[in-house]
Amino acid sequence: MKAQAFGKKRQGLKRGGTFGRSGSAPASSAIPPQPEPDLDQLGADAPPAPQNMAVVSAVDLLASIAESMLKDHFTADELRMSSKAEVSKKLGGLVERLMRSEEADLSEQEQKDLVTYLLNEAESNIGPIGDVVQDAAPKQDANRQTLFEAKTRIQAMLMEHIDPAAAAELPRHELADQVGEVVGELLVQEKINLNLTEQRDLVTLLLDDMLGLGPLEPLLADDTISDIMVNGPKQVYVEQRGKLTLTDVHFRDNQHLMNIAQRIVTAVGRRVDETSPICDARLADGSRVNVIAPPLAIDGASISIRKFTKDKITLDKMLDFGSITAPLAKLLKIAGACRLNILISGGTGSGKTTMLNALSRMIDKGERVVTIEDAAELQLQQPHVVRLETRPPNLEGQGEVTMRDLVKNALRMRPDRIILGEIRGGEAIDMLQAMNTGHDGSMGTIHANRPREALTRLENMVNMAGLHLPAKAIREQIAGSLDMIVQVQRMRDGGRRTTHVTEVVGMEGDVITTQDLFKFEFTGEDESGRLVGHFHSTGVRPHFLTKAEYFGLDRALMEAMNG
């Protein structure tokens, strides 16, 4: 067996009847070359051949067994955290154990070769070993690079041939026809050779820059992408199926990126520049946008877009995704229908707004709902919804309308329910007062990692209002207003799951008492890397059972709890 090419399939060494050698050439170290036997000596020389073949079979057998055990002994994360020396040592131990169990006798060189083969197999089939430095960005293919070079040369000349004001009023398909004709002439004039498909792609890129959001348009059109993160003109990440991926999308320069950012925020009457470098906005489809510009963003403007899915996510769809189970889905539906005051807690990108949208579907169509957000992103399906949005100050520092101002005003608008997109400051006290004064069924979201932490954060936010209330008074207000906390979490496999459904029961001394109704327990992960666990009911009697009985849902609630 040759160590330098051992087990490397790309170099022509294939696993077959014999281990570590091609089908045509025998390996040198494992099987010494045999002289051609003399016919007269054939009987005497016959035994060594089966002995050599037995050695090869033993190596081949151990390789096959060890290879099938690799995924049981190593995960991708374990390999990434280890050095090759550590992995080789573990593989050496595995080979020794297999030699004992299979009663195989391998030479020291054969053992080393087998470990090398298994090391290569682990790296190719499970993941890289050690901290591998990734490329800064994926390389663009030659055709795409040619297209961008053509766009750079053509764009300035195109703007000289068209009237931007008139172009803005034309439907996109008519403008595309006209731009296509001009682009065809300019390509001939500049002696740029593009085929018809490339010309159509070039016209699309130009129209995206003229009418849309430039390089971001293909990403916005991709339904598998949930988040777009622009870190300067040359680096754009996306989140697909819960995993971050670096794309080959880029902007011409910092000014091109700032022009796109300005186009986004001016559409909703806001601005972003050096004097006001931070801005929250939204796209036409309701997707949430945050922009932070230089000098605060050192490497160029940063744009974060949280896309909205075209298909509305319901509790039933979450059930199909494995985010919740059927009994838990029934419990959440009953909680929404019974007009419980619900706080949805979770980290960034954990699915708080998605859960809020799903729970809001249980609101009766005859109720008047007022939503209050920094950047409007809720998608309520009820016919009677009033959407309110905060406003930043103008250049003179005047005209700011805070979330607390809107909550106070909403109380005068005869709402049945008030929904806050996110509770993050002094508006918490106004929201609690609304929940406790006839606006049952109100909802909101908060950033916290566990239900108990959500209560602590809510208490701290009440203090941000500057009312200087005693801690016990704040906790009594929370305990008397809030009914349930739904904890959502984005796990390391990219999936979102509801990890806790917790009831706020009341007070014991100075402490808010709670009880878990449902919990998610992690048990491991499957072969694809997806985390495995189960949702289970704690079996306690829900504190809101009396309220469920009032709405005729007590039997359904107990069925959900008994799962």
With a cut of 70, say whether residue 30 has pLDDT above it.
Answer: no
Confidence of residue 13 (pLDDT cuts 50, 70, 90): very low
Instruction: Dump pLDDT digits (tens) for 178-214.
Output: 788 788 888 878 788 877 887 788 888 877 777 778 8
Q: One-letter amino acid identity for 353? A: T
Instruction: Tell whether 372 is covered by a domain.
Output: yes
Q: Look up the CATH number of the domain holding residue 233.
A: 3.30.450.90
Q: Which of 309, 335, 359 is the last residue before a domain boundary?
A: 309
Q: How distant is the alpha carbon of residue 552 from its chain centre?
A: 39
Residue 379's alpha-carbon distances to 421, 424, 437, 502, in angstroms, are 11, 20, 26, 25
Arithmetic mean of pLDDT, 513-520: 92
The closest alpha carbon to 363, from 376, 378, 382, 377, belongs to: 382
- Are 243 and 110 contained in the same domain? no
What range does the domain containing 262 cover? 212-309
11 lies in some domain: no
The number of C-alpha atoms within 13 Å of 246 and in the hemisphere containing its C-beta is 11
Residue 115 falls within a domain, yes or no? yes
| Residue 67 to residue 98: CA distance in whole angstroms | 12
- Residue 497 contacts residue 488 (beta carbons within 8 Å): yes
CA 384 vs CA 208, 311, 417, 454: distances in Å: 36, 21, 11, 30
Cβ neighbours of 42 (radius 10 Å): 9
Q: Of the given ranges (256-260, 308-312, 331-335, 465-469), which has the lowest mean pLDDT? A: 308-312
Q: Are residues 403 and 450 in the same domain?
A: yes
Q: Say yes or no to pLDDT of 439 above 60.
A: yes
Using pLDDT thresholds of 50, 70 and 90, give the confidence band for residue 484: very high
Give 391-414 pLDDT, tens digit per residue.
Answer: 888 777 788 898 888 988 988 899
Per residue in 120-155, pLDDT tens?
888 888 888 876 554 444 445 566 677 777 777 777
Q: Is residue 198 within 8 Å of residue 143, measured between CB atoms? A: yes
**Whether residues 70 and 197 fall in one domain:** no
Give domain status of residue 480, yes or no.
Answer: yes
Q: Are residues 187 and 319 in the same domain?
A: no
Q: Are residues 447 and 345 in the same domain?
A: yes
> How confident is residue 511, by pLDDT bands cut at 50, 70 and 90?
very high
Contacts of 194 (CB under 8 A, 6+ apart): 146, 147, 150, 187, 202
Going edge to edge, which strands form the sheet with 278-282? 243-246, 236-240, 225-231, 302-306, 288-292, 278-282
Is the predicted pLDDT of residue 341 greater than 90, yes or no?
A: yes
Most confident of 17-31, 77-91, 415-429, 516-530: 415-429
Domain boundary among 277, 309, 341: 309
What residue type is 528 in one-letter code?
S
Note the pLDDT of residue 376: 76
Average pLDDT over residues 545-550: 90
Q: Which residue has the higher pLDDT, 444 or 394?
A: 444
Say if 538 falls within a structural domain.
yes
Same domain, 157 and 86: no
pTM over 0.85: no
The verdict on 177 and 276 lying in the same domain is no
Q: Are residues 387 and 525 in the same domain?
A: yes
pLDDT for res 476 = 92
Q: What is the pLDDT of residue 513?
A: 94
How many domains are contained in the chain?
Answer: 4
Together in a domain, 405 and 347: yes
Are residues 436 and 376 part of one domain?
yes
pLDDT-based confidence at 523, cuts 50/70/90? confident
Is 30 within the bounds of a domain? no
Instruction: Identify the pLDDT of residue 292.
Output: 94
Domain contains 24: no
Same domain, 485 and 407: yes
The pLDDT of residue 7 is above 70:
no
Domain ends where: 191, 211, 231?
211
Mean pLDDT of 427-438: 85
Does residue 285 lie in a domain region? Answer: yes
Confidence at 48, pLDDT banded by 50, 70, 90: very low
Residue whose entry in the numeric block shows the structure tokens 């079996």: 539
Out of 58-62, 158-162, 380-384, 504-508, the most confident range is 504-508
Average pLDDT, the chain: 81
Are both 332 and 473 inside the same structural domain? yes
